[in-house]
């Protein structure tokens, strides 16, 4: 019996150490869930390890089952994690795809300086909301067509241009996109042209030009 207890204690300590090593390997700003450690031990062992690391301040609980390694700015203090890091953690946890949309999509491409307090992602998963600090992330289930280009530059462009609308897409903004985005990625845009509204085709062709 004592051997069994000692063995279990050693296993728990091993999981605790491995969890910590993985956390530290990613560094500050990494957002994660217990799922990211499923290969290291049982759900109970991982939960116990995360509880311990949270208690000593190594990690921070952001919401139900969502943690991060806090980033600390010398002037601003402890920062909230980047929206992109949160969305990546949600994708890994639930095995779903997320497509940035609205003002946030435009911001990612440098077409808007606004960072909205409410961010909307299209998804092939369930519709729900996740609150992290001052930011509310809304996952909105949509059609397979709207998710067809998710994870690709074309998907981000389509959503960003849709957010801006035809009157606000200028030759200057299109040229800025053409110069700032990698040429090999821009060349792939035309493959997804049929997924975009017809009014957007001319703009996308110009962005895709070498």
Task: Name which of 79, 90, 22 is nearest 53 in CA terms.
Answer: 22
Answer yes or no: are the C-beta atoms of 53 and 59 closer than 8 Å.
Answer: yes
> What's the pLDDT score for residue 13?
65
Report d(CA 152, CA 157) in Å as an integer. 9
pTM, entire model:
0.86
Are 105 and 195 in a shared domain?
A: yes
Tell me the pLDDT tens digit for each residue of 118-176.
999 999 999 999 999 999 999 999 999 999 999 999 999 999 999 999 999 999 999 99
Residue 188: count other Cβ atoms within 10 Å of its Cβ: 14
Tell me the pLDDT tens digit for each residue of 15-58.
999 999 999 999 999 999 999 999 999 999 999 999 999 999 99
Q: Which residues contact 31 (CB under 8 A, 6 or more apart)?
A: 62, 66, 67, 68, 81, 85, 86, 88, 89
- Mean pLDDT (the chain) is 91
Are 88 and 173 in a shared domain?
A: yes
Q: Which residues contact 29 (CB under 8 A, 6 or more apart)?
A: 68, 69, 71, 81, 82, 85
For residue 184, the enclosing domain spans: 83-115+143-208
Q: Give bridge partners of residue 32 from the DSSP assignment.
A: 67
Are 95 and 33 in a shared domain?
A: no
Are 158 and 195 in a shared domain?
A: yes
> What's the pLDDT score for residue 7?
44
Are 153 and 196 in a shared domain?
A: yes
């Amino acid at each position: 019996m004592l051997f069994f207890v000692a063995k279990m204690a050693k296993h728990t300590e091993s999981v605790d150490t491995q969890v910590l090593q993985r956390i530290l390997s990613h560094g500050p700003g990494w957002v994660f869930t217990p799922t990211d450690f499923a290969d290291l031990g049982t759900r109970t062992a991982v939960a116990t390890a995360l509880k311990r690391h949270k208690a000593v301040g190594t990690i921070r609980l952001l919401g139900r089952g969502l943690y991060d390694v806090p980033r600390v700015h010398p002037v601003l203090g402890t920062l909230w994690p980047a929206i992109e890091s949160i969305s990546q953690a949600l994708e890994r946890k639930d095995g779903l795809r997320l497509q940035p949309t609205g003002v946030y999509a435009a911001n990612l491409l440098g077409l808007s300086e606004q960072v909205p307090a409410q961010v909307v992602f299209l998804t092939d998963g369930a519709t729900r909301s996740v609150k992290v600090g001052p930011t509310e992330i809304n996952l909105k289930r949509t059609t397979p067509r709207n998710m067809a280009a998710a994870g690709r530059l074309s998907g981000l462009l389509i959503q960003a241009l849709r957010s801006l609308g035809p009157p606000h897409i200028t030759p200057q903004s299109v040229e800025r996109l053409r110069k700032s985005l990698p040429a090999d990625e821009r060349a792939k845009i035309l493959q997804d042209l049929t997924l975009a509204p017809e009014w957007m085709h001319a703009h996308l062709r110009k962005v895709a030009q070498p």
